[in-house]
C-alpha cells in the first residue's frame, strides 16, 4: 500500500466557498463562539462522568451554540452498525454524535485539537495514523472488535474532506471490519445548506469555527440509507462501491457481487 493511497488528497479549497452567504451580525458571531467555549468547558467535566450519554448532549450543545440546525432523515441505525459517510467538515463528527451513540474513526491529528481532541479521546475514538500504513490491519481489527461488542462505529471512507459538490471515492479497507464482525453497514449522506461549512484546503479549525459562527441559517442534513448486510467473505471493494451508491453519492449503480 503506497502512501498516496493511504493519504488521499482533495482538490477542494477556498474556491469552493463562493461569497454571498447570509451572515449574522458580528456581535452574534462573537456570542456564538463564546457559547461554544462554554459548552466545551462543560463537556470536559460531563463526558468523563457520563461518557456515552454526555457525548450526544454535548454535540447538540455545540450545534446549538453555533446556530446550526440538525436534520436526520431515514431509519435509525441499530447498535453495532458500521456507519459510513461522506466527509465535508469537522462538523460531520459533531452531527453524527448528536444523532446516535458511536465510536468515531478519526485521524490522529484530531487528538491534538484544543478541547475537541480530549473529547474525542474520552468518547472512545479510534485514531488512525496515516503516516504508518502498516498499522491499518490493526485499526480494522479494532473497529471489528468494537462492532462485535454491539457498539456502532462511524468512519469517513473518503479519507479526507471534500466540499460537497466534489467527492472522493469510498476506500474499502474499513469495510473489512463489517465483514469480519458480521455487522450491518449504514451509508449516510451528509449535506450542508452552504458550502461555507466545508473544512478544506489550508483551512484551520479556528478559522472554520469563526466562519460557521458567522453564518445565518446553516442546516446540516444527514440522510441514512437502508443497511447493507454483508455475507461472510463478502468483497470489501464491492461493499464500498455499493455503500457509496446507496447513499446517493455517485450516480452509478454497483453490483454487490462484482
Give the pLDDT confidence score for residue 155 in this predicted structure. Answer: 95
Where residue 98 falls among pLDDT bands split at 50, 70, 90? very high
Residue 6 has pLDDT above 60, yes or no: no
Are 161 and 88 a contacting pair, CB within 8 Å?
yes
User: Residue 62, SS3?
Assistant: helix
Give the pLDDT confidence score for residue 115 in this predicted structure. Answer: 64
- What is the residue-averaged pLDDT of the chain? 86
Where residue 7 falls among pLDDT bands split at 50, 70, 90? low
Give the pLDDT confidence score for residue 124 in this predicted structure. Answer: 83
Distance separating alpha carbons of residues 67 and 134, to the nearest angstrom: 41
Average pLDDT, integer, range 44-52: 69
Where residue 20 falls among pLDDT bands split at 50, 70, 90? low
Give the pLDDT confidence score for residue 221 in this predicted structure. Answer: 96
Nearest to 98, CA basis, from 160, 53, 65, 164: 53
Question: Of 172 and 252, which is predicted with more confidence?
Answer: 172
Average pLDDT, integer, range 192-202: 90
Residue 4 has pLDDT above 50, yes or no: no
pLDDT digits (tens, 9 = 90+) for 110-134: 777 766 676 677 778 898 877 777 8
Question: Of 249 and 68, which is predicted with more confidence?
Answer: 68
Handedness of CA 109, 184, 250, 257 (dihedral sign): positive
Residue 256 has pLDDT above 50, yes or no: no
How are beta strands 185-192 and 126-128 bridged, if at all? unpaired
Amino acid at each position: 500500500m503506497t502512501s498516496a493511497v493511504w493519504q488521499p488528497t482533495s482538490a477542494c479549497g477556498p474556491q469552493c466557498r463562493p461569497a454571498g452567504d447570509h451572515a449574522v451580525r458580528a456581535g452574534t458571531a462573537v456570542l456564538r463562539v463564546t457559547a461554544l467555549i462554554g459548552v466545551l468547558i462543560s463537556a470536559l467535566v460531563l463526558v468523563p462522568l457520563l461518557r456515552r450519554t454526555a457525548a450526544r448532549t454535548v454535540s447538540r450543545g455545540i450545534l446549538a451554540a453555533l446556530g446550526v440546525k440538525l436534520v436526520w432523515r431515514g431509519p435509525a441505525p441499530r447498535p453495532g452498525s458500521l456507519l459510513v459517510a461522506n466527509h465535508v467538515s469537522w462538523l460531520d463528527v459533531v452531527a453524527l454524535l448528536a444523532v446516535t451513540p458511536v465510536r468515531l474513526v478519526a485521524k490522529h491529528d484530531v487528538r491534538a485539537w484544543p478541547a475537541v481532541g480530549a473529547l474525542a479521546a474520552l468518547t472512545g475514538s479510534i485514531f488512525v495514523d496515516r503516516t504508518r500504513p502498516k498499522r491499518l490491519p490493526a485499526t480494522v481489527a479494532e473497529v471489528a472488535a468494537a462492532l462485535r461488542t454491539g457498539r456502532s462505529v462511524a468512519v469517513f471512507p473518503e479519507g479526507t474532506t471534500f466540499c460537497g459538490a466534489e467527492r472522493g471515492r469510498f476506500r474499502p479497507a474499513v469495510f473489512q471490519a463489517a465483514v469480519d464482525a458480521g455487522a450491518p453497514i449504514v451509508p449516510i449522506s451528509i449535506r450542508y445548506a452552504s458550502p461555507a461549512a466545508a473544512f478544506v484546503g489550508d483551512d484551520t479549525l479556528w478559522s472554520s469555527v469563526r466562519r460557521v459562527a458567522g453564518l445565518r441559517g446553516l442546516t446540516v442534513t444527514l440522510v441514512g440509507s437502508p443497511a447493507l448486510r454483508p455475507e461472510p467473505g463478502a468483497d470489501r471493494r464491492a461493499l464500498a462501491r455499493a455503500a457509496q451508491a446507496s447513499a446517493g453519492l455517485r450516480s452509478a449503480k454497483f453490483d454487490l457481487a462484482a
